[in-house]
């Protein structure tokens, strides 16, 4: 085992208490500076691995505009840092990189509310979590009851959540409250390999493993009464959060196109310091093909989370003996945090068509944006930030400042602090379960490894991360939740 820390010579210029710059002069080949959102406390953690080096590497991407951005939950990934945002100008030869999206395409999170209060559920948390664990397929390679024919699978790739809603697994309101209404336009199943289709065919409606989870929470702090009223939220209200992605189908799409785009580097004379940043111009055949396939995987992930929500609603119906509508189980919002999107943003005062990569970062559009559902247009887009299983999660809203500074983006979670191997060495699963239970948190996990790898001490404190995005003005706190019970994949 050896340490792999940041080189000591990486220069950081302080802009203000929450923003730091890596100047272009750090590495010849950087086309823009790096811009890191963090305070001094988080910066100490960020310096523990090689994430800042990766921020500088992303700045090499052809067509990148303004800054290579890093959110306060940034940590070392592969190619892009996790918590990285980069936008490229399509007209200026801007590129798209599968590594800027990651293997779990459209990994994301959805938050639904209930009309239940803490007192309604406090004696039934264990029943609820154990039932959710048994009825929502989870774990590595988990397969679901939702079996689809090859033709139907392609329908999912085209139509995303709508496929699920038309099967009876949700409502039109759910689509209204999902980023892209649960399906990106322009998906082309022909761009997806047979292998990827094979990997996806039995995994609809499955949680997966690793950091994916299904969590029952209670609101324990309100920050913005107007936004809470708009979303129908109050103290003591029970919420459900679901974190999952595109499963094996997404991994295969990323692998297929990472492989082919390594060849594109020479073809388009692109120089990047890490092959995992392999890319091609968005407007090239290679770029268009990846984008079409990525959209398919993104749509698959939205359908997956829609199916997971449907299964969750069914479990609540059984436990509480009432239809989910009567239990008030409406979707607040669903956001992707591993994705590339073609969006219009102002650069140097001009509207530009950009390819915005969010690798472990959440879209956070400000008030008035036309892509938001009518009911949220006044307050801004809901931004869902899960923390670790022992602390908090947050609901925020996007801001105008995010539109100006971060292409409408914010953080995506707490961010890992300890490696999985370090967590496994230092944490005992039985002790961890007891500690969580002493805090009133019931956890059911598929594997003991997952449990310790995902222990709270393996993560930064989400409260610190959210403080930074709030204080930097790129999102605004609405309310905070604390976990009552967790199903871990």
Partner 1 sequence: MKKVSYQLIEHTADIGIRVKSFSLAGLFKKAGLAIAGLSLESHNHIYPGKHKIVIRQKAANLEELFVNWLNELLSVSAVESLAFENIQINQVNENYVDAVATGSDIRNYKINTEIKAATYHQLKVKKTGLIWQAEVIFDV
For residue 311, the surrounding DSSP H or E stretch is helix 285-320
345 is catalytic: no
Q: Work out which of 36, 67, 70, 104 binds partner 1, going by CB under 8 A.
A: 104
- What's the longest Cα–Cα distance across the chain? 64
77 binds partner 1 (CB under 8 A): yes
State the Cα–Cα distance between residues 415 and 158, nearest whole angstrom. 32
For residue 241, the surrounding DSSP H or E stretch is strand 237-244
Q: Which stretch binds partner 1 (CB under 8 A): 208-216, 326-334, 351-359, 464-472?
A: 208-216
51 binds partner 1 (CB under 8 A): yes
Q: Which stretch binds partner 1 (CB under 8 A): 72-80, 222-230, 402-410, 469-477?
A: 72-80
Q: Work out which of 63, 84, 108, 139 binds partner 1, going by CB under 8 A.
A: 139
CA dihedral 110, 76, 482, 142 (to 10 degrees): 50
Instruction: Specify the residue, 60 or 251, whose C-beta has the smaller distance to partner 1.
Output: 251
Judged by CB under 8 A, the chain residues 259 through 318 that form the site for partner 1 are 259, 262-263, 274-276, 278
* Smallest gap from residue 350 Cβ to partner 1 (A): 35
Q: End-to-end CA distance of the chain, in Å?
A: 27
State the Cα–Cα distance between residues 166 and 75, nearest whole angstrom. 39
Q: Which stretch binds partner 1 (CB under 8 A): 163-171, 384-392, 430-438, 441-449?
A: 441-449
Q: Work out which of 33, 63, 94, 102 binds partner 1, going by CB under 8 A.
A: 102
Residue tagged 């500076």 (tokens): 33
State the Cα–Cα distance between residues 215 and 390, nearest whole angstrom. 11
Q: Which stretch binds partner 1 (CB under 8 A): 36-44, 252-260, 342-350, 392-400?
A: 252-260
442-462 b/e with 16+ CB inside 10 Å = b? bbbbbbebbbbbbbbebbbbb
State the Cα–Cα distance between residues 432 and 421, nearest whole angstrom. 16
199 binds partner 1 (CB under 8 A): yes
Q: Work out which of 298, 450, 454, 485 binds partner 1, going by CB under 8 A.
A: 450
* Smallest gap from residue 196 Cβ to partner 1 (A): 9
State the Cα–Cα distance between residues 349 and 367, nearest whole angstrom. 19
Encoded one letter per residue, x for contact with partner 1 by CB under 8 A and - for no contact, window 163-182 reads --------------------
Token pair, residue 344, equals 């219009």
150 binds partner 1 (CB under 8 A): no
Q: Residue 416's closest CA among 454, 372, 378, 359?
A: 454
Beta strands in 250-408 (DSSP E): 280-281, 331-336, 338-347, 350-359, 362-363, 382-385, 393-398
1 binds partner 1 (CB under 8 A): yes
Beta strands in 100-140 (DSSP E): 108-117
Instruction: Specify the residue, 167 or 195, whose C-beta has the smaller distance to partner 1.
Output: 195
Q: Work out which of 332, 339, 383, 417 binds partner 1, going by CB under 8 A.
A: 417
Residues that bind partner 1 (CB under 8 A): 1-4, 48-49, 51, 75-79, 82, 99, 102-104, 139-141, 195, 198-199, 208-210, 248, 251-252, 254-255, 258-259, 262-263, 274-276, 278, 416-422, 447-450, 453
């Amino acid at each position: 085992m050896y340490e792999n820390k940041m080189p000591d010579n990486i220069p950081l210029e302080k802009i203000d208490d929450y923003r730091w710059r890596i100047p272009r002069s750090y590495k010849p080949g950087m086309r823009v500076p790096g811009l890191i959102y963090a305070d001094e406390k988080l910066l100490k953690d960020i310096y523990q691995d090689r994430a800042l080096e990766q921020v500088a590497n992303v700045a090499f991407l052809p067509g990148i505009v303004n800054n290579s951005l890093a959110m306060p939950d940034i940590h070392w990934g592969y190619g892009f840092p996790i918590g990285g945002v980069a936008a490229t100008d399509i007209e200026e030869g801007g590129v798209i990189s599968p590594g800027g999206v990651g293997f779990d395409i459209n990994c994301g999170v959805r938050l639904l509310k209930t009309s239940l209060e803490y007192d309604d559920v406090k004696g039934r948390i264990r029943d609820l979590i154990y039932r959710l664990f048994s009825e929502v397929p989870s774990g590595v390679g988990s397969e679901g009851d939702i079996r689809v024919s090859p033709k139907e699978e392609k329908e999912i790739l085209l139509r995303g959540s709508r496929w699920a809603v038309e099967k009876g697994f949700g409502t039109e309101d759910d689509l209204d409250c999902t980023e892209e209404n649960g399906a990106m336009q322009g998906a082309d199943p022909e761009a997806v390999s047979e292998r990827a289709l094979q990997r996806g065919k039995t995994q609809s409606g499955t949680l997966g493993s690793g950091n994916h989870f299904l969590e029952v929470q209670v609101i324990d702090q309100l920050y913005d009464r107007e936004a809470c009223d708009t979303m129908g939220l109050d103290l003591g209200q029970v919420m459900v959060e679901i974190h999952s992605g595109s499963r094996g189908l997404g991994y295969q799409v990323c692998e297929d196109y990472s492989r082919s785009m390594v060849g594109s580097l020479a073809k388009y004379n692109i120089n990047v310091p890490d092959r995992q940043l392999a890319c091609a111009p968005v407007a090239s055949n290679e770029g268009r093909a990846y984008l079409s396939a990525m959209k398919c995987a993104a749509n698959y992930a939205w359908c997956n989370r829609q199916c997971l929500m449907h299964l969750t609603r069914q479990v609540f119906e059984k436990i509480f003996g009432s239809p989910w509508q009567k239990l008030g189980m409406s979707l607040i919002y669903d956001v992707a945090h591993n994705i590339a999107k073609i969006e219009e943003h102002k650069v140097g005062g001009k509207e530009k068509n950009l390819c915005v990569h969010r690798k472990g970062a959440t879209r956070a559009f400000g008030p008035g944006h036309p892509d938001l559902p009518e009911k949220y247009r006044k307050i801004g887009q809901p931004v869902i930030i899960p923390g670790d299983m022992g602390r908090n999660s947050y609901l925020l809203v996007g801001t105008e400042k995010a539109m100006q500074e971060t292409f409408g983006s914010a953080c995506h979670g707490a961010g890992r602090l300890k490696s999985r191997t370090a967590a496994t060495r230092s944490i005992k699963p039985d002790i961890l379960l007891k500690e969580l239970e002493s805090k009133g948190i019931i956890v059911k996990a598929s594997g003991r490894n997952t449990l310790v790898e995902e222990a709270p001490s393996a993560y930064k404190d989400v409260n610190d991360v959210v403080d930074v995005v709030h204080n930097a003005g790129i999102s605004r706190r609405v309310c905070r939740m604390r976990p009552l019970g967790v199903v871990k994949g």
